[in-house]
Structures are given as C-alpha cells and as structure tokens.
Amino acid sequence: MARTDALSRRLGSTWRLLVKELSGFGVVGATAFVLDLSVFQLLYASVGLGAVTSKTLSTLLATTAAYVGHRYWSFSHRARTGVRREYALFAAVNGLTLAFGLVVVAVVRHPLGQESAVVLQLANVGSIAVGTVIRFLCYRRWVFPARTEPTGQTDPARAGIP
C-alpha cells in the first residue's frame, strides 16, 4: 500500500512538473514570436532599416528573450550549467530547427514543384510544429538538464559495503 502511495505521489509530482514546463514553454515561445514580429515591423517599417537587418536584430532579441524566459521560468527548477554553455546550445538548437524548416519548405517548393501559397504555408506550419517538439525535448535534455544528485561519498550501507 505504501508503495502504491509513493508511486502515486511521484507520478503526480512528475505530471505537475511536465505541465509547468509545457505551459511555460508555450507562453515564452508565444511571447518571443510576438516580440520578433513587433520588433521586425518597428525596425523595417518605422525606423527604415533593411529587411534582412531588421529580421536579424528581431531574431536575436527574440531568441535572447526566449532564453531568459526559459531559463528563469519554464525550466527554472533545472540545473544551472552556465549562461555561455546554455545560450550556445540554445542558439544551436534554434539554428538547427530553423534549418530544418527551411529544408522542408525548399523541398516542397523545388523538388516537389509546389507553388501554391497554401501548400507552402502548410509545409511551413508543419515544420514549425515538428521544430517546436524538437526544441522542447532538446531544451529538457541538453540545454537545461535535470538536476543530478550531488556527488559525494556513498553511504556504505546503501552501497552494500560492509
């Protein structure tokens, strides 16, 4: 009976933690998306910067904001492994999922010969959905890893040493 209660508590705790991470991930991602669009529009349409410069700056700002949001909210309970390491991995994961999206759209457009805006947008949305799942899993596994038990002396009684 005690085993069942312990398992039930652990599953409940794990489920709550996953819901916290997923909901934080969604809110931070949506906020970064809106920030990217808004800053691009501001820089391109109001300030008069070029489209590529505006997109570069808006992407850098949105990526940095997303990193901060995920580090200090979505995955705040996870191990801290250093800002440089985390941000480099964060940027790499985002770069790879961006490249994946570009490849999907390029394949649909060129080898498959699709020119319809609807078909291309469906390919884009599909690649974004797959990229989002990949980002979430990579953030949990490599960028913001789970805390590990402190390394120290093992209790001889637990290790089976007399």
Of the candidates 130, 28, 13, the one whose C-alpha atom is nearest the C-alpha of residue 74 is: 28
Q: How far apart are CA 3 and CA 63, in angstroms?
A: 44
Please enumerate in sequence order all residues whose Cβ is within 8 A of that of 94, keeping only pairs 6 or more positions apart, or say none: 63, 135
User: Residue 138 has what pLDDT?
Assistant: 97
User: Residue 90 has what pLDDT?
Assistant: 97
Cβ atoms of 123 and 105 closer than 8 Å: yes
Rg (CA), the chain: 21
Please enumerate in sequence order all residues whose Cβ is within 8 A of that of 105, keeping only pairs 6 or more positions apart, or say none: 120, 123, 124, 127
**Amino acid symbol at 151:** T
Tens digits of pLDDT across the chain (162 residues): 677 777 677 777 788 999 999 999 999 999 999 999 999 999 999 999 999 999 999 999 999 999 999 999 999 999 999 999 999 999 999 999 999 999 999 999 999 999 999 999 999 999 999 999 999 999 999 999 998 866 554 444 444 444
User: Residue 4 has what pLDDT?
Assistant: 76
User: Residue 160 has what pLDDT?
Assistant: 41
Q: How far apart are CA 79 and CA 32, in angstroms?
A: 23
User: Residue 110 has what pLDDT?
Assistant: 95
User: Residue 155 has what pLDDT?
Assistant: 43
Question: How much is the pTM?
Answer: 0.78
User: Residue 3 has what pLDDT?
Assistant: 76
Burial class (CB in 10 A: 0-12, 13-18, 19+), 21: buried
User: Residue 1 has what pLDDT?
Assistant: 67
Q: How far apart are CA 7 and CA 88, in angstroms?
A: 37
**Amino acid symbol at 13:** S
Collapsing DSSP states into helix, strand and coil, what is residue 162? coil
User: Residue 157 has what pLDDT?
Assistant: 44
Instruction: Tell me the domain boundaries of the chain.
Output: 1-77, 80-146
